[in-house]
Every structure is written in structure tokens, then in C-alpha cells.
């Protein structure tokens, strides 16, 4: 890895501070812009433990720079599941 310094406005700085791994997010954004290294996973059926419904979830990026399976449950809740 090589270092590269970037300058952020106050708003983007606050967003970056909330991410668990801002550097990883920046690397993924740069690679995806060029069509390289796009992270994909197959859809997955998730159990919403609170209501017992199953929902089909999509692999999506989250605001903190990580990824998770995300689904809208029939009960109206958003269900997320992250790999550990």
C-alpha cells in the first residue's frame, strides 16, 4: 500500500469520521469507478428474528464503508446482516 493525502470539507470530514474504515471505502470507490474490484455477493434469504418473516436480501454498501445484506421485511422493518 502507498499513502495519498486528501483534503476534505467539514461535511465530508464528519462523514469520514463515522466510517469504520474510510481508507478501505476510498479504495473500493476508486476501483469501482474503473469497473475493477466490484464487490458482489448472491442474494440471500434472511430471517427477521423479531417477526419471523423471511426476506430476500441484496448485498449493499453501508454508509460506514462496510457491506451487508439488506432487506425490507414485510413487517416494515429494515433487516441487515453482516459477515463477521
Segments forming the whole domain that contains residue 60: 10-81
3 falls within a domain = no
Predicted local confidence at residue 71, as pLDDT: 93
5 falls within a domain = no
Q: Is the pLDDT of residue 26 over 80?
A: yes
Q: Cell match 442474494: residue?
A: 43
Q: How many domains does the chain have?
A: 1
pTM for the model: 0.50
The model's pLDDT over 29-70, given as tens digits with 9 standing for 90+, comes to: 887 776 655 567 888 898 998 999 999 998 887 777 778 889
2 falls within a domain = no
What are the backbone angles phi and psi of residue 45, rounded to the nearest 5°? -85, 125
26 falls within a domain = yes
4 falls within a domain = no
Predicted local confidence at residue 51, as pLDDT: 93
16 falls within a domain = yes
Predicted local confidence at residue 53, as pLDDT: 92
Amino acid at each position: 500500500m502507498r499513502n495519498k493525502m486528501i483534503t476534505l470539507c467539514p461535511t465530508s470530514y464528519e462523514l469520514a469520521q463515522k466510517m469504520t474504515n474510510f481508507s478501505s471505502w476510498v479504495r473500493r470507490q476508486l476501483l469501482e469507478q474503473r469497473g475493477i474490484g466490484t464487490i458482489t455477493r448472491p442474494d440471500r434469504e434472511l430471517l427477521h428474528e423479531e417477526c419471523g418473516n423471511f426476506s430476500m436480501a441484496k448485498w449493499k454498501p453501508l454508509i460506514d464503508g462496510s457491506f451487508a445484506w439488506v432487506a425490507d421485511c414485510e413487517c416494515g422493518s429494515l433487516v441487515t446482516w453482516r459477515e463477521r
